[in-house]
Amino acid sequence: MHGAWALAAALPRRVRVQVSPASRFHVRSDKFGAGRSSELLPIARVVESMAREFSVDTAVRVSVASTIPEGAGLGSSAATMVAVASAFSRFHSLGLGVDELVRCSMVGERSVHGRPSGIDPAICGHGGVILFRPGSTPRKVTFEGSRKLMISYSGRKRSTKGQIGRVSLMKDRFPGLFSSLGDAVSELSLAAAERLREGDMRGLGRLLALNHAALEMVGVSNKTLDEMIDIFASFGSYGAKLTGAGGGGSVLAVAPEAKEKSIVSGLTARGFETFSARIPTEGVRSWSEP
């Protein structure tokens, strides 16, 4: 929610970008083909912006392969833009750090989403778990061992740009209510970070449910997402909430490990692609191939 602290975790779904020499700029995606289509234009804008800033050539071939579903609330575009920035930096030996790569990726994110908060590129760049608020330095959330999350994709794509617009409209119409909800979401995020540090997954689940209730009030949930959260509860999860900007996309949940298989089976049987994932997961990295 606008201006509130948010908690984000990296997931083990990857985007691989390869940058190689070419006579002119060329981009190809395993999902969107080749050329300068509307889906690929944000990639071109990242490359062109970096080329101008660092006085390097745009004559490269960019190849993108992604395992993240589009429009699922899982940061597909952000992961792509950060990976493109990282691979282009490596190709030209720019030596950019994570924060610089995240900054460069925002050119593409703004092209996709209009006015994104920046949380998705930040978590894609840093990995692990972070607390994020626009205008503040991301805070790493560290803990011993790992924690498991469950993700279920609704199958309904959503437009982050459209959802941001709806939330902005509510903020303009009901500034007092919006401010109170924003404060509540911030407190929930900070409390959730503590539960995660302590390994209190039951307590984390309760906070996820409260967070979802606040997001429902803002109007970014829908019947399908609410149904999925009810299914998670019926199979014994500790709690669940929508991910990303809402309006479709995915649901995030925590549950006892002993019940994970039955939960995955139950959601999958109802047509929702579902998986569990361990965190923390590393962020962006690049390398040169021989």
pLDDT at 174: 67
Averaged confidence pLDDT in the chain: 90
**pLDDT over 80 (residue 201):** yes
Distances (CA, A) of 153 to 33, 72, 149, 254, 274: 24, 6, 13, 15, 6
DSSP strands (E only) in the chain: 6-9, 15-21, 26-29, 33-34, 60-66, 129-132, 139-140, 147-153, 239-242, 250-254, 273-279
**pLDDT over 70 (residue 159):** no
Distance CA 225, CA 246 (A): 9
**pLDDT over 60 (residue 193):** yes
136: which 2 tokens? Answer: 């503040």
**pLDDT over 70 (residue 261):** yes
More confidently predicted of 172 and 80: 80
Domain residue limits, the chain: 6-132, 143-279
SS3 assignment, position 227: helix
* Mean pLDDT along residues 206-233: 91
Give pLDDT tens digits for 66-75: 999 888 889 9
Distances (CA, A) of 204 to 7, 146, 234, 275, 281: 11, 14, 18, 19, 19
* Mean pLDDT along residues 166-184: 74
Which CATH code fits 143-279? 3.30.70.890
What's domain 6-132's architecture? 2-Layer Sandwich (3.30)
Q: Name the percent of the chain lying above pLDDT 90.
A: 69
pTM, rounded to two decimals:
0.89
DSSP 50-105: HHHHHT----EEEEEEE-SPTTSSS-HHHHHHHHHHHHHHHHTT----HHHHHHHH
What is the largest distance, in Å, between two alpha-carbon atoms of the chain?
58
Reported as half-sphere exposure (CB side, CA atoms, 13 A), residue 257 has a value of 6
**pLDDT over 90 (residue 6):** yes
Distance CA 287, CA 290 (A): 10
pLDDT at 35: 78
**pLDDT over 70 (residue 163):** no
Give the model's confidence band at 280: pLDDT under 50 very low, under 70 low, under 90 confident, else very high: confident
Angle at 258 between CA 236 and CA 198, to 5 degrees: 85
Judging by DSSP bridges, how do beta strands 129-132 and 6-9 pair with one another? antiparallel
DSSP 8-state secondary structure symbol assigned to residue 32: T
* Mean pLDDT along residues 19-31: 95
Question: Is 189:9 a contact under the CB 8 Å cutoff?
Answer: no
SS3 assignment, position 5: coil
